[in-house]
A and B are shown apart, each in its own frame.
Chain A
Amino acid sequence: MRQLCKGNVAVVKGAVLAGCRAYYGYPITPASEIAEYASLLFPEVGGTFLQAESEVSAINMVYGAASAGVRVMSASSGPGLSLMQEGMSYIAGAELPCVIVDVVRGGPGLGNIAPEQSDYFCIVKGGGHGCYRNIVLAPSSVQEMFDLTVLAFELSDRYRNPAVIMTDGYVGQMMEPLDIKMRNIEAPAKDWAVLGTGESKKNLISSIFLEPDVLEAHVQKLEAKYQLAQELETRCEEYLTEDADVLLVGFGIVSRVLRSTVDQLRAQGLRAGLFRPITLWPFPARELRETAKHVKSVMVVELNTGMMLEDVKLTLNGVLPVEFYGRAGGNVPMAEEITAQVFARMSALV
Chain B
Amino acid sequence: MNGYEVIHEKSPAFYDRFERKDELQQQTHYCPGCGHGVAHKLIAEALTELGLQDRAILVSPVGCSVFAY
Taking beta carbons and an 8 Å cutoff, which residues of A are in contact with B? 64, 67-68, 194-198, 201, 204, 208-211, 214
Contacts and interface: CB of A to CB of B under 8 A. Distances in A.
B54 A210 contact: no
Given A214-B21, A214-B23, A196 B69 contact: no
Interface string B1-29: 00000000000000000000111100100
B27 A204 contact: no
B23 A201 contact: no
Interface of B: 21-24, 27, 53-57, 59, 66, 69
Contacts of A198: 53-54
Contact of B27 (A68, A195, A210): A210
6 closest residue pairs by CB, A with B: A211-B23, A198-B54, A214-B23, A196-B57, A194-B57, A196-B55
Contacts of B27: 210
Given A209-B23, A214-B21, A201 B66 contact: no
A196 B23 CA distance: 25
Counting chain A CB atoms within 10 Å of each CB, the highest count among B24, B56, B57, B69 belongs to: B57
Contacts of B59: 64
9 contacts: A68-B57, A196-B55, A196-B57, A197-B54, A197-B55, A198-B54, A208-B66, A209-B23, A210-B23
Nearest to B58: A194
A64 B27 CA distance: 27
A209 B54 CA distance: 27
